[in-house]
């Protein structure tokens, strides 16, 4: 299995792996690329899956990335496992920088005039979180629900983030699509050549073993055949 571990991680170890993999991001990236190239599918289907996974990985869909990647892969008829692996193109260290860029770009596209500062972002998150908690408690109490903070968060943070991430996400995902095809084709050809070489060696070994077994089972025939050959003077 692609995601199966020999030893299950505890939740603390899992959180640590999400923030910084044990072998570093370089090793984790190589592992994901290796897994993608080994997928037993058509290179174009794998590339379409990578495109879907990469695009979903850039979009603000917390907790829904795997579901969205699965749906996107089905939509473009791509490889599902490649799409799931493609969502790992972002990580907790790089996502904040990309998020700020995406929100700034989205504000520029939408013409939002409110300044995008760390304080404004934190304030929007705080008000949205407070509204979520207040509305949740209002289900069980006579308290009134409030939506102002959530509406502000939607218009000033989430929508600009989504729009600002969509265009660069499409561009990077398209690049990943065209890069994946030759990589997978090269890997599959090399793997097929190795498999053919192993098959040929096994065939020769089986032939040699069969000939040896025949000689051991029929020593007289072998000796007669050797005597019939012209000898050395």
In a domain, 210, yes or no: no
- 147: three-class secondary structure by DSSP: coil
CA distance linking residue 90 with residue 233, whole number of Å: 79
Q: Does any domain span residue 29?
A: yes
Composition of the chain by helix, strand, coil, percent to 5 = 75, 0, 25
Joined together, the tokens standing for residue 204 give: 């020769």
CA distance 232 to 61: 84
SS3 22: coil
Query: Which residue in 85, 78, 76, 69 sits closest to 49, CA to CA?
Result: 78
| 224 falls within a domain | no
Which residue from 153, 166, 62, 161 is spatially nearest to 103, judged by alpha carbons? 161
Please state, in angstroms and rounded to a whole number, the distance separating the CA atoms of residues 229 and 222: 11
Q: What per-residue confidence (pLDDT) applies to 20? A: 47
Neighbours of 73 (CB within 10 A): 25
- Tell me if 75 is assigned to some domain: yes
pLDDT of residue 167: 92
pLDDT score at 3: 45
Assess if residue 76 is contained within a domain.
Answer: yes
> What is the model's pLDDT at position 2?
45
Radius of gyration, CA atoms only, the chain? 30
Whether 226 is in a domain gets the answer no
- Whose tokens are 């025939």? That residue is 221
Assigned domain for 223 exists: no
Contact 54, 85 (CB under 8 A): no
Looking at the structure of the chain, the number of domains it has is 1
> Is 5 a domain residue?
no
- In this prediction, residue 165 carries a pLDDT of 94
**Tokens 């050395």 sit at which residue?**
232
- Please name the residues in contact with 18: beta carbons below 8 A apart, sequence gap of 6 or more: 91, 92
Q: What is the pLDDT of residue 37?
A: 55
Token pair 């996502």 is at which residue?
95
List strand residue ranges (DSSP E) for the chain, in order. none
Phi, psi of 24 (to 5 degrees): 90, 165
- Rounded Cα distance, 9 and 166, in Å: 34
Structural domain harbouring 154: 11-184
Q: What is the mean pLDDT of each run of 10 residues along the chain (233 residues)?
A: 52 49 52 59 88 92 88 91 83 81 90 79 88 88 87 90 93 93 84 75 78 71 56 49
């Amino acid at each position: 299995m692609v995601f199966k571990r020999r030893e299950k991680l505890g939740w603390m170890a899992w959180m640590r792996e999400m923030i910084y993999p044990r072998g570093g991001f370089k090793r984790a990236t190589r592992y994901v690329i290796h897994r993608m190239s080994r997928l037993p599918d058509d290179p174009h289907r794998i590339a379409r899956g990578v495109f879907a996974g990469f695009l979903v990985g850039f979009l603000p869909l917390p907790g829904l990335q795997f579901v969205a990647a699965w749906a996107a892969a089905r939509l473009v008829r791509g490889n599902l496992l490649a799409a799931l692996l493609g969502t790992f193109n972002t990580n907790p260290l790089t996502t904040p920088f990309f998020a700020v860029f995406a929100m700034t770009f989205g504000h520029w596209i939408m013409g939002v005039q409110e300044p995008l500062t760390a304080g404004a972002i934190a304030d929007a998150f705080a008000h949205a979180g407070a509204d979520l908690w207040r509305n949740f408690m209002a289900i069980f109490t006579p308290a009134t629900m409030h939506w102002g903070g959530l509406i502000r968060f939607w218009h000033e943070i989430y929508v600009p983030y989504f729009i600002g991430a969509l265009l660069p996400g499409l561009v990077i995902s398209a690049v990943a699509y065209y890069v994946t095809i030759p990589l997978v084709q090269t890997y599959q050809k090399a793997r097929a050549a190795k498999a053919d070489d192993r098959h040929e060696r096994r065939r020769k070994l089986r032939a040699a073993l069969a000939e040896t077994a025949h000689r051991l089972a029929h020593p007289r025939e072998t000796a007669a055949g050797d005597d019939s050959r012209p000898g050395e003077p």
